Amino acid sequence: MTDLSQAVLLVSCPDRSGIVARLASVVHQMGWNIVQVDQSVDAEHGDFRMRMVLERPDGNSKGSDFTERFETIAAEEKMTISLHPREERPRLAIFCSKEPHCLQDLLQRHASGELECEIPLIISNHEDLRSLSEFFEVPFVHVPNDANRRQHAEATLETLLEEHAIDLIVLARYMQILSPGFVSNWPERIINIHHSFLPAFAGASPYRQAHERGVKLIGATAHYVTAELDAGPIISQDVLECSHRDGVSDLARKGRDVERNTLSRAVRWSIERRLMVQGDRVVVFG
């Protein structure tokens, strides 16, 4: 059913006149159809951003010509353009620790066909989630990691990521810090899930803090990881209601639910090429 002759075109540049006309004409001349367009301009910053879904009616791959043509335009017009044929499924590595809820959700959505990606690698600093990974037939590698052996561990991670030609890292409740050096190698290519509350609680035992403060909503934020901890561009946010009757364990249960849904949604958007970072903001194309 999936039509593999589709591709997504992402375009970003300072706004000016005639961009849509120029690009739509090129697409038409090359014999492709436009199936979907979501384009807008940020009125505050003058940023142009566009996502087009294209289709080759003959199913004949003219991918390389097409890519070259867009590279030329991008250079001439000083745009950022990328073309993503749907058959080039992104390759994900999932990092996890002991908690299964986010990993489980991603793996079953992948198994059900919701996530059009490859998952060739799961990495954990613990052994706990090996059997879950194996049930879904994804290779699991245990890479011990803590403050004392960060450098060595990250060298191992880099080797594994390169061997498996990974495009995107998903931190599915990975409870180790990644060094600024590592993060800078993967710009806009690491997605994390953060248990952020209203108001936010930093530090240990966030659910206990939330209970003490009597919050009425439990939230989660999926974001790109930048060197500045927990402050990267926000991809997706959601909340669940809670009340004074919720004990710490109830808040933790609701937290797991909102975390898994928020993270899986952000990952799906990334795979479907719906995300674009502009400044500190993430554009989520519809």
Question: Nearest CA to 94 among 32, 171, 25?
Answer: 171
Which of the residues 38, 230, 238, 250 is marked catalytic?
230
Chain residues 17-36 in contact with a second copy, contact rule CB under 8 A: 17-21, 24-25, 27-28, 33-36
Residue 144 neighbours by CB distance under 10 Å: 14
Bridge partners (DSSP) of residue 7 are 54, 85
- When binding is defined by CB under 8 A, the residue of 8, 93, 168, 235 that contacts a second copy is 235
Q: Which is nearer to a second copy, 59 or 245 (CB)?
A: 245
Pick from 100, 122, 171, 270 the residue near a second copy by CB under 8 A: 100
Asked whether 267 and 170 are in contact (CB, 8 A), the reply is yes
Among 8, 9, 11, 50, contact with a second copy (rule: CB under 8 A): 50
Task: Please select the residue that binds a second copy; options are 219, 225, 251, 263, rule is CB under 8 A.
Answer: 219
Binder among 13, 141, 160, 217 for a second copy (CB under 8 A): 217
Q: For residues 78 and 216, which CB has a smaller minimum distance to a second copy in the complex?
A: 216
Binding of a second copy by 205 (CB under 8 A): no
**Burial per residue of 10-39, b for 16 or more beta-carbon CB atoms within 10 angstroms, e otherwise:** bbbbeeeeebeeebeebbeeeebeeeeeee
Q: Are strands 281-284 and 234-241 parallel, antiparallel or unpaired?
A: unpaired
Measured from the CB atom, the residue of 175 and 217 that comes closer to a second copy is 217
Judged by CB under 8 A, the number of residues near a second copy is 71
Catalytic: 58?
no
Half-sphere exposure of 186 (CA within 13 A, CB side): 27
CB burial readout 250-268, b (16+ within 10 A) else e: ebbbbbbebbbbbbbbbbb
Q: Quick check: 129 binds a second copy (CB under 8 A)?
A: no
| 188: contact with a second copy by CB under 8 A | no
State which of residues 69, 89, 91, 101 lies at the interface with a second copy (CB under 8 A).
101
Position 229 contacts a second copy (CB under 8 A): no
96 interacts with a second copy by CB under 8 A: no
Q: Is 72 in the site for a second copy (CB under 8 A)?
A: no
| Dihedral sign of CA atoms 43, 47, 53, 55 in order | positive
d(CA 93, CA 201): 28
Q: Give me the active site residues, please.
A: 230
